[in-house]
Structures are given as C-alpha cells and as structure tokens.
Structure 1
Amino acid sequence: MNDTALQTRSVVVEREFSHPPEKLWRALTQPHLIEAWLMKNDFVPDVGRHFTLRGDWGSVDCEVRTVEPNRTLSYTWAAMGLDSVVTWTLTPTGTGTHVRMEQMGFQPGQDQAYTGAQYGWQKFFGSLEQVLAQPD
C-alpha cells in the first residue's frame, strides 16, 4: 500500500458571487440565513462554541474553530463516523467575492461520505446563491 492511500481527501467548492463579503458573511453566520440554504441550526460565531446542524436525515455536531469576520470561518463537522473540518474563505474581487469552501478529513474507506459531500455542497451552494439573491 502506498502513502497516498492513507491520506485524507477534501471536497473543495469555489465560486464567484456578485455580492460583497459582508453579505456572504451574514449568510454564513446568521442562523435564519444558514437555515435557508444549509440546515436548521443554533450557530453562534464564537470560537469554541458548539452548535448543531439538523436535517431530515439526522444532525451534524460542530464546533467553531476560526472566526475572522468577512474573511474566514471554520468549524468541525462530525456526523455518521465522519470527523472533518469545513473552512470558508472569502476574498473580495472587483465584482463581488470569491468564495472557497473546503471540507477536509475524509478518511480512506469513507467513499460514500466523500461522494455525498461533493453532491451536497454543490446543492448547498445553489441554495446559498438563491438566499444571496434576495434583498437585504
């Protein structure tokens, strides 16, 4: 077995939004907006704060790790045997914001979770785009 078989994998989604970082930050950190594009939650953007994301299929246990307003947000994501970290990076552009989301920590043998995350995050980004299109 080679070393690459033992490495974890990440799901990365990058997208350009025609909205300022502040608007994206609100969508990533305000519970009613998070619910509109991701899941029901009790999120508070405080480092060390535990929160839960709740969907029809179950829940995700999370802990806030990094909060840099309008720039970076990361939190743990633990569900169904998956222990991972989700990191959002917001970079202002001339026309809006470049958003990079990385969920890292998929272990060998977690192919179903990895494939599900690839599909799920694309869907969540589509919902996020709809939330951002609504007036403030």
Structure 2
Amino acid sequence: METMTAVLILLVTVAASGGISPFVRRVPLPLIQVALGAALGGLSGVPIVLNPDLFLLVFIPPLLFLDAWRFPVLELRRLGFIILTLAVGLVLFTVVGAGHIIHWLLPAVPLSTAFALAAVLSPTDAVAVAGMAGGARMPPA
C-alpha cells in the first residue's frame, strides 16, 4: 500500500508541476518537480521508498517515449552523425577524464575501477539532458 501511495504522490507532483511551471519560467521543471515531491512526501508522512525496478518500469519508459515521439525525424536524419559523434565523444571524454581524476585523487582505487565509476557518472540519459536544456517542459495544450 505504501508503494501505491508513493506512486500517487509522484503523479500528483507531476500534475501540479505542470500547472506551476508556466508561472516560474526561470526554474527548470525537474527542480520544481523535486521540490514539490519532497514537500508532498513530507506532508503525507509516508516514507517514499521506491524499488528501483518499479521506478525503471513505471517512470523511465514514458519519459523516453515522449522525448522520442517529439523529436523531429528530418532533423535526426540530417544531424544524426553529429549527434552520435557528440554523444559518444562526451561519454568517452567523461569516462577517461573523470576516471583519471578519480584515480589521481584516490590512488588506492585501480584505474579500471575509476573508469567504471566515471562511466556511471557519464551523461547518457536523454531525458536528463533534455531537462537540463529546458526541453522537458510540456507544450501548452
């Protein structure tokens, strides 16, 4: 029952953030959603503990689908090589750079482990990138 309450709190948060975001244009939508979720979770008194499998099943696919649905196909065909090059290049740059910095800061950590930790930090999530660029806002209906 707690899981269902947590999911309902998150759905109310998303709905409320959609109504609030046009009035607070300078604040990115994900930050509004996090603040509202924390406030609603604190007010409800229900500890919000989500199983990662449930989160990956319920929330991530609709977000990725929505981003993919809105992406212009002609732009993707025209800029596909550049997008792929930048995406792969950014991940490789982050893994190699952050891996060496982690290994330099913590010499006890082997370089291979530092690369694995840096790979976790690398920006590969399309929804996160769109949210940071302001592209995650819903268009007015």
- TM-score, normalising length from structure 2? 0.25
**Bigger proportion of residues as strand:** 1
Q: Which has the larger radius of gyration?
A: 2
Work out which structure has the larger RCO, using CA pairs closer than 8 Å and 6 or more positions apart in sequence. 1
- TM-score, normalising length from structure 1? 0.26
